[in-house]
A and B are shown apart, each in its own frame.
Chain A
Amino acid sequence: MEFQVSNKAKMLTTVLMAVGIVFTLVGVVMAMGDHQLGTKIYSNMLVNSFFFFGIGLGALFFLALQYATETGWYAVIKRVIEAVAGFLPFGIGMMLVTLLTLSFTHGGHVYMWMDPDTVAHDSLVSGKSAYLNQAFFWIRTIAYMAIYFIFWRGFKNRSIQQDQNADMAIDLHFKNYRKGAAFLVFFAYFSSTSSWDWIMSIDTHWFSTLFGWYTFAGTWCSTMIVLVTLTLYLKKKGYLPKVNESHIHDLGKWTFATSFLWSYLWFSQFMLIWYANIPEEVTYYLTRRDNFTFLYFGMFFINFAFPMLILMSRDAKRHAGILTFVGLIIFAGHWLDVWVMVMPGTIGPKASVGLLDLGMAVLCLGFFVRVVLTNLTKAPLVAVNHPFLDESLHHDI
């Protein structure tokens, strides 16, 4: 079955992007004369490019995970995952533009270690310059992007090949199995180091060993929300007749589980630093506690309590309305999580979610949805020769 982006969807995404641009422009005009305007724009570029890049990458990770674990149930929604993973090249583009901008503005008050003045006067920052320097940073960034891109293209090509060539389906499947495992190895390292490079280094003085896994859990959760809401949308439009309640239930479980994983890691990192109360570590949470009390703890409350209370029951995980409702709220919650990881270190205590922030987020959201929907049109909605398709069609839990 071929998917077509409906006119309504086209119009809605266009409206989103237009509203985003208008908001952004109004936000910029209102902030004219503010010496932090540049930093505000750069920080928002980082927040949104990281957030949406993360979802594309998260979908690629999830796909690789399904291959490597020889999962069967997901076969009917494989194309949905691939469509979201298809945002990856665009996400890479957004990240590269952001990081290049920061590189050429001495870090733009986002990465203070990129600023030669700071490095010269701050012994803690200069102590890290063997790792945090422009050349090595770019070597790492390009390596991450190149390897992610190569894996993504490989999975995509093999998936199409498998559709067209039934005889090779099993061979391609085992190739995906091996490549999936290989991707996970790279991802295990890169997901940590890239989050240190792109996010943790904003608060250059601060460090936390758990940071990489925490960031990854948030990304994964946002990805699952996108996958479940997109599947529900397609099903509602009549595109995925073979997707039954059990598939939805499984996606719901993943959303629930990754929310818990994220909350668990949030708590582990927060509690240990709060409990030990060591000055060089606790400063990170002090700014968030004192200047972002409502946003920071509100964000945690939303991302933890909503899925926990509402998605606990089996029926809720099978209910399109409840899943979408909770999903959209915690989607915003996880965006806020990224926002609050970035802003206190860049803008400082006075940062707030304003028109500029919302505008850029909505613009990127519209773009993201449009790209994903367009990706769906590029391949049949069911991967017909997937060796586990029969298992997936009979999925019943």
Chain B
Amino acid sequence: MHKEAAIREPLILGHKSYHQITEDVCKPIEDKAPKMWYILFTIAAVIGLYGVGCILYLLGTGIGTWGLNKTVGWAWDITNFVWWVGIGHAGTLISAVLLLFRQKWRMAINRSAEAMTIFAVFMAGLFPLIHMGRIWVAYWVMPLPNQFGSLWVNFNSPLLWDVFAISTYLTVSLIFWYIGLLPDFATIRDRVKKPIPKRMYSMLSFGWTGRAKHWNRFELVSLVLAGVATPLVFSVHSIVSFDFATSVIPGWHTTIFPPYFVAGAVFSGFAMVQTLMLVMRKAMNLEAYIHTKHVEYMNIVIMVTGSIVGVAYLTELFVSWYSGVEYEAYAFINRATGPYWWAYWSMMTCNVISPQLMWVKKWRRNLMFTFVMSIIVNIGMWFERFVIIVTSVHRDYLPSSWSMFYPTHIDIGIFVGTIGLFFVFFLLFARFFPVLALNEVKTILKSSGESFKNGQAHSGADELADLKNTNN
């Protein structure tokens, strides 16, 4: 039997039974949505629609409506793309890597983190597509047999590797997430009374009955998917980093990029999870399942990955001098003291200095502080991509072509719009889907539940009560 040391903090607070967990998770879905949900949904939808409008205008007019110029050919578009892919890293990390490390606290957050991952990858995928200008020929990025003469994808290009990496990642994350949802959908199906929702959840649950055979297959496929997802956590952002690092642009071509991008992605992904979880636990009364200890663990992950990113920044800075390559050194001097100094120092402050505050135990267990920090980290990580992309290209080898990048309102509209769309998806998820992996959380109740740990509850009596409740 699994034992948990007495000195570990419980993961489920209060006196919960199996039935109570089902109640707590299903209640928000079965009740009417609170007024706040409608307000937030409307705001997100309006912003999202504005973004869609900007995208349609862009597609109709051309990417000249962005602020790009002949020197800065990549700017906010790729910045936003990398930012969203980065955010979309936490879900798989939580469900696959933390699974390997047997971190039980992940069970409280994996469902929503995975949902967030999928929506973030949607937003990320949008940018390369609209960057093509002619989105209707987007399928040309696939190596399809065609009638266009010599038109064929370039397998030597990291941009194509990206197509494969991200589509694989999205597919695996989606399947992983959905498989986990099956038993929980079935629980909801068995509870709802109204015919239409019952039918909907019945379809969503793929006819799950909870037979031993189902659980057996479920566990097998989860294990295989976790195995597949683990290398994907590393590959996706490594390949995104190859987009830059395979080039010969000073500031882009550096070997530390792959692991450093992965660390940065986990860093920003966890920050987004914090932003969402802190609101959700309150709004949906899940404080017993996602509590201070979970927040503290996530803050420690943020602190560690933030420090890894910090070490990488300093390594790059040092080696740019050590290399003795004039261009390399200039790229970094220009970042720190050139016209974009403010972006560089925002990045440094938000990503390297601010996570160090998490060393103070009192602060990393403070929810309000955490919320503010999570926003700061996400701002910092956006600046990181902006700094890498724009400051490295805006002053290239030929000083006569040096220029600056100024975003247009379409640049801004599309970026803000994706944030709106992201929240539209997430709010819909929170409204209709079980936001906590309830069947999974039940597995740790007796080893990590507070009342079981300190001996107030005894499994026997509770099991009986549970049996009665489920039979009702």
Contact = CB atoms under 8 A, between A and B. Distances in A.
B145 interface: no
Contacts of B257: 268, 272
A393 B231 CA distance: 31
Interface in A364-397: 387-388, 390-391, 393-394, 396-397
10 contacts: A131-B322, A170-B7, A188-B308, A211-B255, A271-B246, A272-B254, A272-B257, A276-B245, A387-B6, A388-B5
A59 to B, nearest CB: 20
Given A269-B255, A275-B246, A278-B248, A70 B8 contact: yes
Nearest to B356: A185
A124 B324 contact: yes
A136 interface: no
Interface residues of A, number: 41
Interface string A27-51: 0000000000000000000000000
Interface stretch (A100-108, A141-149, A202-210, A330-338): A202-210
A253 B100 CA distance: 9
Given A173-B7, A391-B4, A396-B2, A272 B253 contact: yes
B259 A391 contact: no
B255 A128 contact: no
Interface string A341-381: 00000000000000000000000000000000000000000
A131 B316 CA distance: 15
Given A188-B307, A272-B242, A280-B323, A213 B259 contact: yes
Contacts of A276: 245-248, 253
A267 to B, nearest CB: 9
Nearest to B312: A209
Given A210-B255, A264-B234, A272-B257, A192 B315 contact: yes
B260 to A, nearest CB: 8
Contact of A207 (B2, B246, B248, B319): B319
Contacts of A212: 315
A210 B256 contact: yes
B234 A390 contact: no
B255 A185 contact: no
B94 to A, nearest CB: 16
B3 to A, nearest CB: 4
A395 to B, nearest CB: 9
Nearest to B325: A280
A209 B316 contact: yes
Given A173-B7, A188-B308, A278 B315 contact: no
Interface string B219-241: 00000000000010010001000
Question: Which 5 pairs from chain A and chain B are nearest by CB?
Answer: A209-B256, A210-B255, A394-B3, A268-B258, A275-B246
Interface in A180-209: 185, 188-189, 192, 196, 207-209
A268 B238 contact: yes
A49 to B, nearest CB: 24
A185 B307 contact: yes
B311 interface: yes
A283 B435 CA distance: 53
Contacts of A272: 242, 245-246, 253-255, 257-258
Interface residues of B, number: 36
Contacts of B248: 276, 278
B2 A127 contact: no
Given A131-B322, A272-B253, A278-B248, A209 B3 contact: no
A210 B316 contact: no
B1 interface: yes
A189 B311 contact: yes
B324 A127 contact: yes
B311 A128 contact: no
Contacts of A275: 246
Interface in A217-270: 253, 260, 264-265, 268-269
A181 to B, nearest CB: 8
Contacts of B1: 394, 396
B3 A390 contact: yes
A87 B112 CA distance: 46
Given A124-B324, A185-B307, A394-B3, A268 B8 contact: no
B5 A391 contact: yes
A170 B325 CA distance: 53
A387 B8 CA distance: 10
Interface in B292-342: 307-308, 311-312, 315-316, 319, 322-325
B7 A387 contact: yes
Nearest to A209: B256
A273 interface: yes
A72 interface: yes
Interface string A271-296: 11101101010000000000000000
A269 to B, nearest CB: 5
A187 to B, nearest CB: 11
Given A276-B245, A391-B3, 7 more contacts: A192-B315, A207-B322, A207-B323, A272-B255, A273-B255, A393-B3, A394-B1
B254 A209 contact: yes
Contacts of A269: 255
Contacts of A387: 5-7
